[in-house]
Amino acid sequence: MHRWDQEKERAIGTKEDAKSVNFFLDSMEVKITQCKTDLFNSGKSFDAQLILNTVFGLITPKIKVLEEFQKHNDEMEALIGKGYAQGIHDRFKTARSHVKEFIMFKYQKEDMDFRDLNFEFIKDYDFYLRTQRSCSNNTTLKYISNFKKIVLGAIAKGILPDDPFKLFKKKKIKITKEPLNERELFLIESHKFDNLRLATVRDIFIFQCYTGLAYIDAFNLKDKHIKIGVDGNWWIINGRQKTKTVNYIPLLPKAIDIIEKYKNHPLCLRRQTKLPVISNQKMNAYRAPVKVL
């Protein structure tokens, strides 16, 4: 005890052991003060034991960003058809892959701790999507929104104390889409493709033009959705997945021709659907290079 200052609560002397003890005590005092400040700002109740557990890392294991993202996607996959659509799950899978690529691109890591997320991460991820991935403004913000859902979930679970999106302010650009005119539709219909996949994607697109079906509704179209109406003609009668409303759509002759064309397609037979619709991502990729006008 002759080498301990009770009043200052520090070791006395200039020997190496005294310096080491005092350095340790100083660093612990800083950590405890910071911990108390963080817990106080979080609005949660705390005591000395919680502070000690937090400082010494005895609370919860560090939660990784991509691990939590994958957990969300796995839960969503289990609920496909029970509140979630396959297309939404596919979108979140793609969103996770973009976050994974960004973490490797910027930090050279396979994953990172959730508690290391900050505004700089969000800002740089936004820039990465626009430059390295060549995403448009609206597509970028869609992927950002998907990721934000995971982050808000982490905040709700107490994994993340603060919202890194708090200062992120960007808006989608309203896009006016012009419908195809009769000539443009004819040119697409009559174009001869050497590539069979492009021809199939074109046919499905034409079918959507004549029925107004969204991608997911064309993807899920089955025998049970096609019925004879009171007028004696064929109709599509189904609930739209996106709006949860019932649609009554007359099947025009050209739409019926497309259904007939693919009734024995291997993908239709395997899935028991009326059209060989592939993933939305691939559909859009095949549509992009097609220029027939």
Q: What are the pLDDT digits (tens) for 185-223? A: 999 999 999 889 999 999 999 999 999 998 888 999 999
Structure tokens at 285: 């990729």
Q: Is the pLDDT of residue 15 over 60?
A: yes
Q: How far is CA 191 from CA 185, 202, 232, 233, 265, in A?
A: 10, 9, 33, 29, 21
Tally of CB atoms within 10 A around 141: 19
Q: How is the chain split among helix, strand and coil, in percent rounded to 5?
A: 55, 10, 35
pLDDT band (50, 70, 90) for residue 286: low
Q: Rounded to an integer, what distance in angstroms lies between the CA atom of residue 221 and that of residue 213?
A: 9
- CA–centroid distance for 203 within its chain: 29
Question: Looking at this protein, which amino acid is placed at residue 75?
Answer: E
CA dihedral 104, 108, 111, 116 (to 10 degrees): -110
Tally of CB atoms within 10 A around 69: 25
Domain ranges of the chain: 4-55, 65-156, 182-287
Q: Rounded to an integer, what distance in angstroms lies between the CA atom of residue 290 and that of residue 292?
A: 6
User: Mean pLDDT over residues 161-183, rounded?
Assistant: 87
User: Mean pLDDT over residues 8-34, rounded?
Assistant: 83
Q: Rounded to an integer, what distance in angstroms lies between the CA atom of residue 255 and that of residue 57?
A: 63
User: Mean pLDDT over residues 100-115, rounded?
Assistant: 93
pLDDT of residue 276: 94
User: Mean pLDDT over residues 22-51, rounded?
Assistant: 79
Structure tokens at 291: 């220029």
Q: What are the pLDDT digits (tens) for 125-161? A: 999 999 999 999 999 999 999 999 999 999 998 888 8
Residues 6+ apart with CB under 8 A from 40: 46
pLDDT of residue 293: 46
Q: Rounded to an integer, what distance in angstroms lies between the CA atom of residue 146 and that of residue 98?
A: 11
Structure tokens at 103: 């973490």
Helices (H), 108-252: 119-131, 137-156, 182-190, 196-211, 215-219
Q: Is the pLDDT of residue 24 over 90?
A: no
Higher-scoring residue by pLDDT: 29, 128: 128
